[in-house]
Chains A and B, each alone.
Chain A
Amino acid sequence: MTRNIIKSLCCVVILTLVNFILLVGTFFLPIDEMRENVARSSELFNFEGVYPHWDTGYKSTKLDGWTEGAVYGMAIYQEGGSPLENAILMHYIDAEGVQMPWSMTNYANHADKKYSFPVYGRYWYGSVGIIKVLLLFFDVSDIRMLNCILQMTLMLLILIKMIKTGMDDRIVPFIVAIMIIDPISMVMCLTYSSDYIPMLLAILAILYFYDYVDKLGWMVFFAVLGAVMAFFSMLSFPLIALGIPLLFKIWCDGIYGKSEKNELLDTVICSGAWGISYGIAWGMKWIIGTLFTDFDFIGNALGQADSYYGEVEVTVLERLFKNVRVIVKWPYLLMFIAAIIIIVVMSHRDKNNTTDAGCETKVRNAGRTNDVKTLLAYFIIMFLPFAMMIALGDGYANTHYWMAYKQLSITAGAGLCIISDFIVRWKIHNLNEGVKGIIPELVNK
């Protein structure tokens, strides 16, 4: 345990430093071409505005055009300063009397305006480094298309591996979770992709390199993931990169027959490792910023914390309901009903088919759910989003409920797993004796 803690800490610190150096490196790249590419895409920003929806008025389809504009502004900021300073301070563009993202497009087009360049240094904004490299070759529309291609490819690889591994009965919870996150918004909004793509990559890592990760230690893996999230996320809905990979960990443990594992303890340790390393990696930004610049990072952070916790507009319960209400809509309700029906039908279909790999998996997973600790692990995962919504105050889950709600995908995924496993348990009680006989063998396989 102590060894793993030290290993995790080392990984987090080294990874964050390497990320930081790479980020600074991208600030050495020439900016003229980047600025030109952003200017070429002005129409995109000008049309979409601050908070566009891909389905007007539908909260779950709201995109974060403000942060998108700020991020592209950071990428094309060209007002002097050393690359080191700029990479730490992350100036965005603010034109007098003009809102974001129009401020940024005016700047990209060298429009004659009175500009100021406020510091937005409290996050790492690791995605700015990637955007800078991409902007050397592509305009913003191209980057959106690339994002689409990448996400589709990753999703396809995940589904293929899930099916090949025999996780058929986990596809429903996974797809429901992805639908709540909303794959179209993920394609159209880079700010969101900064949370979504690391999540997909983490899932792929678990699926394709399970043995290696298992040997490395799950605590280390989730600690690294937390540090990566702190580097890339802008606190949109980073928890998806903890909750959904945790579900995959439990599923894979079931598939690969690691029945000796204490999922409850693992979930607590992994969540803790993720959260602490997120905090450490984030805190490193403030420490590095304080060391290398004159900007008061701590004061800025405290000011921001005040805006999150200061003025409370609604009660905690109202805040939670506000998030839940985003998906209390006909399409999502129909999806939940359909998901439960599919889970019931799938459980029923294979009840006497003992040779089918999918049935084996179900029996094994069901066996694991019999373990109260695994069930509790699912419950903890299910309530992670609510914990975050409560902990981060009004400024997060109330003001930004239209993005914070996406973390409810974790609740839905874990909830459906609990339902699915309960149904399979119940089915097993009704299986014929021949099948019952092999259950212990399957569970312990």
Chain B
Amino acid sequence: MNEVFSRKKLALHAFAVLVISVILGVILLCLAYMLPTDKMKANVAAAYDLFMDERVYHDWSNDVEYTRLDGYTDMLMYGTAIYPNEESVLNEALMNRHIDMWYEDGMDVAYWSTDSEGEYRPISYEVYWHGYLIWLKPLLLFMHPRNIRVLNMLLQFVLLAYFLQLFTKRFQGKYYMPLLAGILVINPVSTAMCLQFSSVFYIAIISMILMLRYPHIVKRRHGFSLFFLVSGICVAYFDFLTYPPIALCLPLMLYLIMRNEDSSTDYDQNTVLSVFRAGIYWSVGYIFMWGSKWFLPLIVGDNRLDYVLYELGYRSGMDDVTFWQVLTEKIKVLAIKPLLVFFGIYAVQLIVRLVIAGLKKKIVIPDYMYLLSVALVMIIPIAWYFVVREHSLHTFAYRELAGSIMAAMLFAESFLPVAQSAEK
């Protein structure tokens, strides 16, 4: 029997999840920081050539921003992982120090790991959780970054294949064009080659796998809300503010199409409200989890709240960067001939199919609530650009548009009769 929804119970559970996440987050980081770093440092040093070959912002297809990797942050991640534990474990886990040199080339970690001469200084980067350390540190005990990159590729492609398996079984080959477009925009080659881009990819894909595997989790408001709360928490814990809305938009779109295809009465909320609910709970999880990290260093006597406030103001860039500037910059990244060809071909076939359906009077009038919900998802990345303007100027933030593009394609395809009947 379905339980009756209780706001009070949900609020209580959400609060408990948040508190437990913070405690668990700290414990896991402390455990990771207990590991010896000598072997990790030696393993990072073994990848010196890799770092020096690619430098900080390597394009895997020259001068195409769409293929740009963030080697700077990858090195920062490795640098944080191998920083020797000089203070107490708790202090290190909360302060997240890495080594910085006075050079401008951003190759500090490569130099330091190989004990090159230079003036080193520890820098703490406590504004983020650095949750990736819970897997990166153990991996570095056994393998060097070159192995980790290949492992990352294998894992991502295997997860993607598993997701496709579940997705195809569920929808019988429908919606594959929006899905393909989303995958292409996120660019799995880059996410496989760059650790910094991997966190959101993993969270989004694992969330969707869970949704397809255990759909009952999100059928009721209670589970649905907690699901997105945990997703937001995970993004704040593992990610460096890369393209977080994707971890919200992709699972949310999957929920909407699952809901649209499922005529069961198990669902206890309307789709439009579900978009708002997911957005709110995801944001609460994200902001609370991230915000908690700004206060946690107080435990070890570090007060950087002024710096955090400065960063927040700077990252939003409300005064210096216009919204249109951000949006046009992001669209420009995707305005490359191959993608234009892809989307051009898609648009032409879509228009032809719509016209044929119109002539045959077979245009489907979808549920307006579904349409409105998809349209709302389309807006999420745009709204993100509006709020987080300065940070969105980073090249990699273009990936958030995958959410808008996929939603736009779902919106358009919902009028097609073919989209409604599974290709058997």
A residues contacting B by CB (< 8 A) are 41, 43-44, 47-48, 53-58, 60-61, 137-138, 141-142, 144-146, 148-149, 152-153, 156, 159-160, 163-164, 168, 171, 175, 178-179, 182-184, 187-188, 329-332, 334-335, 338
Q: Is B62 interfacial (CB 8 A cutoff)? A: yes
Q: Are A57 and B146 in contact (CB under 8 A)?
A: yes
Q: Is B183 interfacial (CB 8 A cutoff)? A: yes
List the B side residues contacting A187 at CB < 8 Å: 189
Q: Once bound together, how far apart are the Cα atoms of A163 and B50, in whole Å? A: 38
Q: Are B337 and A164 in contact (CB under 8 A)?
A: no
User: At the interface with chain A, which of B168-176, B218-226, B269-277?
Assistant: B168-176
List the A side residues contacting B337 at CB < 8 Å: 137-138, 142, 145
In the complex, which residues 253-281 of chain B have their Cβ closer than 8 Å to any Cβ of chain A? Answer: none
Q: Is B192 interfacial (CB 8 A cutoff)? A: yes
B residues contacting A by CB (< 8 A) are 47, 49-50, 53-54, 60-64, 66-67, 142-143, 146-147, 149-151, 153-154, 157-158, 161, 164-165, 168-169, 172-173, 176, 179-180, 183-184, 188-189, 192-193, 336-339, 341-342
Q: Name the residue of chain A whose CB is nearest to the CB of B149.
A: A55
Q: Are B339 and A152 in contact (CB under 8 A)?
A: no
Q: List 28 A-B contacts (CB under 8 A).
A: A43-B62, A44-B62, A56-B50, A57-B49, A58-B149, A141-B61, A142-B336, A144-B61, A145-B61, A145-B337, A146-B341, A148-B184, A148-B189, A152-B180, A152-B184, A160-B176, A163-B164, A163-B165, A164-B173, A168-B165, A171-B165, A179-B154, A184-B153, A188-B61, A188-B189, A330-B143, A334-B151, A334-B154
Q: Are B176 and A179 in contact (CB under 8 A)?
A: no
Q: Once bound together, how far apart are the Cα atoms of A55 and B337, in whole Å? A: 27
Q: Name the residue of chain A whose CB is nearest to the CB of B179.
A: A156
Q: Are A145 and B62 in contact (CB under 8 A)?
A: no
A-B complex: 10 closest residue pairs judged by Cβ atoms: A44-B62, A145-B338, A56-B50, A331-B151, A163-B168, A331-B150, A141-B61, A146-B338, A144-B61, A56-B49
Which of B62, B146, B183, B189 sits near A55, CB closer than 8 Å?
B146
Take A57-B49, A329-B147, A331-B147 as given contacts and tell me if A149 and B338 are in contact as well, using a CB distance cutoff of 8 Å.
yes
Q: Once bound together, how far apart are the Cα atoms of A329 and B49, in whole Å? A: 18
Q: Are A164 and B172 in contact (CB under 8 A)?
A: yes
Q: Once bound together, how far apart are the Cα atoms of A262 and B386, in whole Å? A: 64
Q: Name the residue of chain A whose CB is nearest to the CB of B342.
A: A149
Q: Once bound together, how far apart are the Cα atoms of A175 and B67, in whole Å? A: 24
Q: Are B146 and A56 in contact (CB under 8 A)?
A: yes
Take A156-B180, A179-B154, A335-B154 as given contacts and tell me if A54 and B49 are in contact as well, using a CB distance cutoff of 8 Å.
no
Q: Are B180 and A41 in contact (CB under 8 A)?
A: no
Q: Report the minimum CB–CB distance from B67 to chain A (whole Å).
A: 8
Which of B47, B64, B143 sits near A141, CB closer than 8 Å?
B64
Given A55-B149, A58-B147, A179-B157, 5 more A-B residue pairs with CB atoms under 8 Å apart are: A41-B62, A55-B150, A55-B193, A149-B342, A163-B168
List the A side residues contacting B143 at CB < 8 Å: 330-331
Take A141-B64, A152-B184 as given contacts and tell me if A179 and B158 are in contact as well, using a CB distance cutoff of 8 Å.
yes
Q: Report the minimum CB–CB distance from A355 to chain B (whole Å).
A: 15
List the A side residues contacting B165 at CB < 8 Å: 159, 163, 168, 171
List the B side residues contacting A334 at CB < 8 Å: 151, 154
Q: Once bound together, how far apart are the Cα atoms of A265 and B155, in whole Å? A: 37
List the B side residues contacting A332 at CB < 8 Å: 150, 154
Q: Are A56 and B188 in contact (CB under 8 A)?
A: no
Q: Name the residue of chain B whose CB is nearest to the CB of A58.
A: B146
Q: Are B168 and A160 in contact (CB under 8 A)?
A: yes
Take A146-B341, A160-B176 as given contacts and tell me if A330 and B147 are in contact as well, using a CB distance cutoff of 8 Å.
yes
Q: Are A58 and B150 in contact (CB under 8 A)?
A: yes
Q: Are A175 and B157 in contact (CB under 8 A)?
A: yes
List the A side residues contacting B169 at CB < 8 Å: 163
List the B side residues contacting A178 at CB < 8 Å: 157
Q: Once bound together, how far apart are the Cα atoms of A54 and B153, in whole Å? A: 11
Take A152-B184, A156-B164 as given contacts and tell me if A138 and B62 are in contact as well, using a CB distance cutoff of 8 Å.
no
Q: Once bound together, how far apart are the Cα atoms of A113 and B19, in whole Å? A: 69
Q: Report the minimum CB–CB distance from A267 to chain B (whole Å).
A: 26
Q: Name the residue of chain B whose CB is nearest to the CB of A46.
A: B62
List the A side residues contacting B338 at CB < 8 Å: 138, 142, 145-146, 148-149
Q: Report the minimum CB–CB distance from A145 to chain B (whole Å).
A: 4
List the A side residues contacting B180 at CB < 8 Å: 152-153, 156
Q: Name the residue of chain B whose CB is nearest to the CB of A60.
A: B150
Q: Report the minimum CB–CB distance from B174 to chain A (whole Å).
A: 10
Q: Once bound together, how far apart are the Cα atoms of A142 and B338, in whole Å? A: 6
List the A side residues contacting B153 at CB < 8 Å: 179, 182-184
Which of B47, B62, B339, B341 sits near A47, CB closer than 8 Å?
B62
Q: Report the minimum CB–CB distance from A91 to chain B (whole Å).
A: 25
Q: Are B158 and A61 in contact (CB under 8 A)?
A: no
Q: Once bound together, how far apart are the Cα atoms of A330 and B142, in whole Å? A: 9
Q: Name the residue of chain A whose CB is nearest to the CB of B163.
A: A159
Q: Once bound together, how far apart are the Cα atoms of A188 and B187, in whole Å? A: 13
User: Which of the listed residues B67, B154, B169 has the most CB atoms from chain A within 10 Å of its own CB?
Assistant: B154
Q: Are A156 and B50 in contact (CB under 8 A)?
A: no
Q: Are A61 and B176 in contact (CB under 8 A)?
A: no
Q: Once bound together, how far apart are the Cα atoms of A331 and B143, in whole Å? A: 9
Q: Are B161 and A175 in contact (CB under 8 A)?
A: yes
Q: Report the minimum CB–CB distance from A409 to chain B (whole Å).
A: 13
Q: Once bound together, how far apart are the Cα atoms of A434 and B189, in whole Å? A: 48
Q: Name the residue of chain A whose CB is nearest to the CB of B188.
A: A152
Q: Report the minimum CB–CB distance from A337 to chain B (whole Å).
A: 12
Q: Once bound together, how far apart are the Cα atoms of A171 and B66, in whole Å? A: 30
List the A side residues contacting B53 at CB < 8 Å: 53, 56
Q: Name the residue of chain B whose CB is nearest to the CB of A42.
A: B62
List the A side residues contacting B61 at CB < 8 Å: 44, 141, 144-145, 188
List the A side residues contacting B336 at CB < 8 Å: 142, 145
Take A149-B184, A175-B161, A183-B157 as given contacts and tell me if A329 and B150 are in contact as well, using a CB distance cutoff of 8 Å.
yes
User: Which of the listed residues B53, B143, B172 has the most CB atoms from chain A within 10 Å of its own CB?
Assistant: B53
User: Which of the listed residues A44, A56, A58, A338 has the most CB atoms from chain B within 10 Å of its own CB?
Assistant: A56
List the A side residues contacting B151 at CB < 8 Å: 330-331, 334
Take A43-B63, A56-B47, A329-B147 as given contacts and tell me if A184 and B176 are in contact as well, using a CB distance cutoff of 8 Å.
no
Q: Are B49 and A145 in contact (CB under 8 A)?
A: no
Q: Once bound together, how far apart are the Cα atoms of A152 and B158, in whole Å? A: 14
Q: Once bound together, how far apart are the Cα atoms of A168 and B166, in whole Å? A: 10
Q: Report the minimum CB–CB distance from A23 to chain B (whole Å).
A: 23
Q: Name the residue of chain A whose CB is nearest to the CB of B46.
A: A57
Take A159-B161, A160-B176 as given contacts and tell me if A145 and B66 are in contact as well, using a CB distance cutoff of 8 Å.
yes
List the B side residues contacting A43 at CB < 8 Å: 62-63
Q: Are B60 and A188 in contact (CB under 8 A)?
A: yes
Take A142-B336, A156-B180, A184-B192 as given contacts and tell me if A54 and B146 are in contact as well, using a CB distance cutoff of 8 Å.
no
List the A side residues contacting B188 at CB < 8 Å: 152
List the A side residues contacting B67 at CB < 8 Å: 141, 145
List the B side residues contacting A57 at CB < 8 Å: 47, 49-50, 146
Q: Once bound together, how far apart are the Cα atoms of A274 and B4, in whole Å? A: 65
Q: Once bound together, how far apart are the Cα atoms of A156 and B176, in whole Å? A: 8
Q: Report the minimum CB–CB distance from B50 to chain A (whole Å).
A: 4
Q: Are A145 and B150 in contact (CB under 8 A)?
A: no
Q: Report the minimum CB–CB distance from A179 to chain B (whole Å).
A: 5
Q: Once bound together, how far apart are the Cα atoms of A60 and B154, in whole Å? A: 13
Q: Are B189 and A159 in contact (CB under 8 A)?
A: no
Take A145-B338, A152-B188, A178-B157 as given contacts and tell me if A184 and B147 are in contact as well, using a CB distance cutoff of 8 Å.
no
Q: Once bound together, how far apart are the Cα atoms of A203 and B153, in whole Å? A: 23
Q: Once bound together, how far apart are the Cα atoms of A334 and B180, in whole Å? A: 28
